[in-house]
């Protein structure tokens, strides 16, 4: 693409996001690909069936599930009228969210470390650009060191081996300051309108 610069084009090179490496595998809470039910089971929110030996299976017992931590950093209330197997009455949703938020803030790992940095209701997560019907009823962000890949951490955090979610932004050509670098945050949502 370099020949386009000689022809007067302006070129932008951007990336979606970086990735975090974690020390905790499997993750304590959240999962980049599916459901991580163990912590929510331990806290009494997600029901799991047991096998003939009394060991937990990966099959969810919806009749005993009030909330579930699904892909990424979203927790869904198993709400009557919205979810196929919903058991939580809509009028009980707010109080249940409050209970889950308190339990997540109070949860400690085996070494006494707090695992969750921020927990918000869907409506409150709008300040972070995450709310609406496609997001969970509760959104959480893991404490630095417990973050998994990208969706469960704040953009300022680092993972193991100093990994981060920082993306790439390079621009060159007419209208771009030559040799200029910045540590300023460049918001991805501004890239398309800028171009």
- Residue-wise pLDDT tens digits, 101-146: 999 999 998 889 888 889 999 999 998 888 899 999 999 888 877 6
Question: Quick one: pLDDT at residue 70?
Answer: 84
Q: With the CA atoms of 53, 61, 43 and 33 taken in that order, what torsion angle do they form, in degrees rounded to the nearest 10?
A: 100
- Alpha helix segments (H runs only) across 7-131: 38-42, 93-106
Least confident of 35-44, 50-59, 140-149, 176-185: 140-149
Question: Quick one: pLDDT at residue 156?
Answer: 65
167: burial class by Cβ within 10 Å (0-12, 13-18, 19+)? middle
Q: Tens of pLDDT along 53-104?
A: 999 998 999 999 999 998 778 999 999 999 999 999 999 999 999 999 999 9
Task: Determine the distance from the C-alpha atom of residue 106 to the mean position of all C-alpha atoms in its chain, rounded to a whole number.
Answer: 19
Question: Quick one: pLDDT at residue 27?
Answer: 63
Is residue 151 left, alpha or beta, with left meaning phi > 0 and alpha meaning psi from -120 to 50? alpha
Alpha-carbon distance of 113 to 106, in angstroms, equals: 10
- Of 34, 56, 14, 58, the C-alpha closest to 167 is 14
Alpha-carbon distance of 92 to 69, in angstroms, equals: 18
Question: Quick one: pLDDT at residue 149?
Answer: 64
Give the distance between the most distant pair of CA atoms in the chain: 71
Q: Sorting pLDDT into bands at 50, 70 and 90, what band is 151?
A: low
Residues pairing with 56 in the sheet: 50
DSSP per-residue string spanning 146-160: T--SSTTS-TT-B-G
Q: Per residue in 42-76, is it b (16+ CB within 10 Å) or e — as a string?
A: ebebbbbeeeeeeeeeeebeeeebbbbbbebbbbb
Question: Quick one: pLDDT at residue 33?
Answer: 61
């Amino acid at each position: 693409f370099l020949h386009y610069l000689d022809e007067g084009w302006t070129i932008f090179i951007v990336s979606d996001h970086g990735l975090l490496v974690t020390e905790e595998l499997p993750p304590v809470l959240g999962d980049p690909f599916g459901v991580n039910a163990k912590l929510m089971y331990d806290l009494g929110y997600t029901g799991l069936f047991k096998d003939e030996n009394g060991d937990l299976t990966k099959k969810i017992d919806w009749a005993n599930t009030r909330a579930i931590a699904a892909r990424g950093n979203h927790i869904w209330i198993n709400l009557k009228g919205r979810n196929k197997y919903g058991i939580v009455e809509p009028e009980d949703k707010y109080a249940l969210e409050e209970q889950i938020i308190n339990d997540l803030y109070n949860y400690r790992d085996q070494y006494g470390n707090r695992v969750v940095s921020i927990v918000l209701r869907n409506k409150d997560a709008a300040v972070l650009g995450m709310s609406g019907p496609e997001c969970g009823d509760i959104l959480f962000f893991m404490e630095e060191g417990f973050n998994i890949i990208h969706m469960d951490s704040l953009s300022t955090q680092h993972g193991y081996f100093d990994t981060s979610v920082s993306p790439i932004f390079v621009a060159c050509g007419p209208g771009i300051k030559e040799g200029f670098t910045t540590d300023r945050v460049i918001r991805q949502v501004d890239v398309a309108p800028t171009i």
